[in-house]
Amino acid sequence: MELFTPDFWTILLSIIIIDLVLAGDNAIVIGLAARNVPKEHQKKVIIWGTAGAIIVRAIGTLLVVWLLKIPGLLLIGGLLLIWIAFKLLTQKKSHDNVKSGTSLWSAIQTIIIADAVMGLDNVLAIAGASHGSFLMVVIGLMISVPFIVWGSTIILKFIERYPVIIYIGSGVLAFTAGKMITDETWFKAFFEENVWIKWAFITVIVIGVIIAGRMKNRGKLAT
């Protein structure tokens, strides 16, 4: 991956948007896990819990990037990402089951484990958006650190005030899913020969996910 090319900026922008929509919500885990720890230890819990979560997430993302090189897994990953994009629009994440630790170590453990479980969507999305570039994964994780540590409250307030952000994020996830599917070894040659079909296919996925999510939300409001 060459630096500062149009592809570089497109991938970087996708990763930033994915982090904004997905990492911000997961960041609440830190506050919930540390809330019962003595005040003098809360800063340590946040720093070490975040560091541990980032290391686990980095290993997981790099592993997924490597796995996506196996024929067939880009297709599976793309389909999973379509589902994640849809669920982002229709399902509220709950943090009620995140227990706060009373000791330094138990709170740090809670943050790392909860983030690892809740961050699966983030890992898959960044791995897909990175297009197999380990450099882009590292840059993406460097960007996500401030979001996770400091940005959760601000991001969530913005999302509550401007719900369109969720739709933009879902659209980016669906776009990434479409790119993953069209880059799958089994289909790549066909889509490279028929570029207009490739972009029409990706467009249908993006629009389809957004419309399906909107219809599901309207159905919830009607009931």
Per-residue pLDDT of the chain (223 residues; tens, 9 = 90+): 567 788 888 888 887 777 767 665 555 666 666 666 777 777 777 777 777 777 877 788 888 888 888 888 889 888 988 988 888 787 655 555 555 555 677 777 777 776 666 666 778 888 888 877 888 877 777 776 666 666 555 655 676 677 787 888 888 889 988 988 998 989 999 999 999 999 999 999 999 999 999 888 887 666 5
What is d(CA 190, CA 193) in angstroms, rounded to the nearest whole number?
5
In a domain, 186, yes or no: yes
Number of residues that make up the chain: 223
In a domain, 1, yes or no: no
pLDDT for res 220: 67
CB count within 10 Å of CB 189 equals 9
pLDDT for res 198: 94
Q: Using CA atoms in the order 150, 156, 161, 167, what is the torsion angle rounded to 10 degrees?
A: 120
pLDDT for res 34: 64
pLDDT for res 16: 75
pLDDT for res 191: 93
Q: What sign results for the dihedral spanned by CA atoms 171, 175, 177, 181?
A: positive
pLDDT for res 201: 96
Q: How many domains does the chain have?
A: 1
| Residue 132 Rama label (left phi>0; alpha psi -120 to 50; beta) | left
What is d(CA 94, CA 88) in angstroms, rounded to the nearest whole number?
12
CB count within 10 Å of CB 6 equals 7
* Structural domain boundaries, residue 33: 6-222
pLDDT for res 200: 96
In a domain, 156, yes or no: yes
In a domain, 90, yes or no: yes
pLDDT for res 212: 92
pLDDT for res 92: 59
Report how far apart the first and last C-alpha atoms of the chain are (Å, whole number). Answer: 49
SS3 state of residue 133: coil
In a domain, 108, yes or no: yes
